[in-house]
Chains A and B, each alone.
Chain A
Amino acid sequence: MVDSNHKGEVVFENVTRAVQTKKTETIILDHCSFVIESGKLTVLIGPSGCGKTTIINLIAGYEKPDRGKVLIDGKPVAGPDRERLVAFQETALFPWLTCYDNVMFGPLATKVMTREEAHEQAINLLEKVGLGDFLYKYPMQLSGGMMRRAELARALINRPTVMLMDEPFRGLDAMTRELMQEYYLRLVEESHGTHLFVTSEIEEAIFLADRLIIMTNKPSRVKHALDIDLPRPRIASVLRSKRYLELKALTLEILHEEAVKASMASGKADIAIDSGLRT
């Protein structure tokens, strides 16, 4: 299963993570184990608040597991590193830097390449994501979709071994989102890196994934893992194929159950949106 040529295999071994609030301790991950295979696009999906962002933070090294191990190519995660880069929810472009300066930030901070090299690559990459005309705009001048693309470029210029996508298209309108997914897939299919993509949209998950990991509600574990065998390169018409609909039905079935559970748990009173009506 593990291709020794590829790097960036992420292993979660019995990871437990709890967060202390003022009053209580909430267990977010509970003995969670799974593998993110190198060179593949793994999508993590689950109800909101199930600890998906925590998983991203653990791999990126922003948080440490309370118990268990997070291993990258066999070594435990020591801290944030440019080998593992995150594209954040909503985007975390530095608002005081222009689009171009944002992309140049990584190479200049670490000095792995010369300014000229970095410049060339930055221009290249920004052209590729369709921001060639917006190099010297500040993030606030860009549309939502453009910001997400700039963020992608900012991460990809550093050639990370593992790319972590934390619901990167959240908050975009559905149509822009679909176009962003196509953009993103093109980049992934060219680069063949290891990608972890976290989302709560089923459509998006199945459309993008090589492998789909479905999480349970808090405290979360892996509920199910699916290999998505839709052909690549994927285009929008995949969404009409028989196989896609089968996979969607299966995923919906699993997730619907979790979503009902989550909605019962998240309201402080025990509400059941479903059952209340049918009586």
Chain B
Amino acid sequence: MSASTLNTTSNLWKQVRKTVANWTTVRRIMSVLLFLLAWTILVQFTGQFHQIPTPAAVFAALFQLKLGVIFTEIFRSFVRVLCGFLLGLLIGFPIGVAIGYSRIANYLLFPAVEMVRPIPPIAWIPLTVLFFINIESQIVFLTFYGAFFPIVYNTMGGISEVDIRLPRAAMSFGINRMGMLWKIILPAAMPQIFTGMKVAIGITWLMVVAAEMIASKGGLGYWVWYHHTVMEYPMVILGMGIIGLCGALCSVGIDVIGSHFMKWRNIF
């Protein structure tokens, strides 16, 4: 079906107009502006929440930010997140593969994993503090723990939901068990494995913030908590924003890596 094309010359302009200058974009910008306005009104004129800084105050605080300090804190949190996440991947991924792929491993490991899972990672904080002497290792353990379960469960789920015809086809071609795992099962389960990694990195950030707030040993969580205790609230909100931004960046990063590994998926 050949698409009959009219006016190819004005296409570029049309595209620009379509994507930028239309009602949707206007409404989307309005959305954010309205939110800021509502926030300001709530704080300024109701008197109820006078302690909460206005958007303007937060914006002003942006210029008082000491870049050196904030980047050190970001770096610290980031390293912790990364360590925990990679550790979770290193341990969680093989376990997920084993549970999903081998019946015996499933019977042996799954009930144990299932029993520990309902305990929220944050409830592990006291035990962690008890067990690890070093604060860094405490935080890394907690982030690892947060990342572990989403990775295991999504890897496992991804593998067990592979369209059965794919391994069957490969079996006919005479592939061996290892080949089946590497060439068929894992590529087919890849999308869900990456979904799991995205969830994991979200929880990892949450854990880092919680752990840092409690442990008071540097990092963004500590930074926010510190400013809370000295009552510099604009900085607190700024900190929240930075944490959100970092989390979003990590999740985008995983998407980028994912799309690199799954070129076949983002063809359209």
Contact = CB atoms under 8 A, between A and B. Distances in A.
Interface stretch (A1-9, A80-88, A194-202, A230-238): A80-88
B171 to A, nearest CB: 4
A140 interface: yes
A80 B168 CA distance: 8
Contacts of A94: 166, 169-170, 184, 187-188
Contact of B174 (A86, A95, A109, A138): A109
A62 B170 CA distance: 11
Contacts of A105: 170, 173, 183
A141 interface: yes
A110 interface: yes
Nearest to B168: A62
Nearest to A138: B264
B165 interface: yes
Interface of A: 60, 62, 79-82, 84-86, 88, 92, 94-97, 105-106, 109-110, 138-141, 158
14 contacts: A80-B168, A82-B173, A84-B172, A86-B169, A88-B165, A92-B165, A92-B169, A96-B190, A96-B264, A109-B170, A110-B175, A140-B264, A140-B265, A140-B267
A12 B29 CA distance: 69
A106 B188 contact: no
Contacts of B175: 109-110
A141 B267 contact: yes
Given A94-B184, A96-B188, A96-B190, A60 B168 contact: yes
Given A106-B173, A109-B179, A86 B168 contact: yes
A236 B190 CA distance: 44
B262 A88 contact: no
B163 interface: yes
Given A92-B163, A92-B166, A96-B188, A85 B172 contact: yes
The 6 closest A-B pairs by CB, nearest first: A92-B165, A80-B171, A106-B173, A96-B187, A138-B264, A110-B174
B189 to A, nearest CB: 11
A80 B265 CA distance: 29
Given A79-B171, A140-B268, 8 more contacts: A80-B168, A84-B172, A85-B172, A88-B165, A94-B169, A105-B173, A106-B174, A158-B173
A95 B264 contact: yes
Contacts of B169: 86, 88, 92, 94
A82 B166 CA distance: 15
Contacts of B166: 92, 94
A84 B174 CA distance: 11
B168 A110 contact: no
B172 A81 contact: yes
User: Among B166, B172, B184, B264, which residue has the most Cβ atoms of chain A within 10 A?
Assistant: B172
Contact of A110 (B173, B183, B188, B263): B173
A195 to B, nearest CB: 15
Contacts of B183: 105, 109
A208 to B, nearest CB: 22
Nearest to A98: B264
A109 B170 CA distance: 9
Contact of A138 (B163, B165, B172, B267): B267
Contacts of A95: 188, 264-265
Give the residue among B171, B187, B188, B263 with the most A Cβ atoms within 10 A. Answer: B171
Nearest to A87: B169
Contacts of B174: 80-82, 106, 109-110
Contacts of B187: 94, 96
Nearest to B187: A96
Nearest to A92: B165
Contacts of A88: 165, 168-169
A84 B173 CA distance: 9
Give the interface centre of B166, B169, B179, B265 by most chain A CB atoms within 10 Å. Answer: B169
Given A80-B168, A138-B267, A141-B267, A96 B173 contact: no
Contacts of B170: 94, 105, 109
A96 B262 contact: yes
Nearest to B173: A106
Interface string B155-178: 000000001011011111111000
Contacts of A96: 187-188, 190, 262, 264
A82 B163 CA distance: 20
Interface string B228-268: 00000000000000000000000000000000001111011
A64 B42 CA distance: 71
Contacts of B188: 94-96
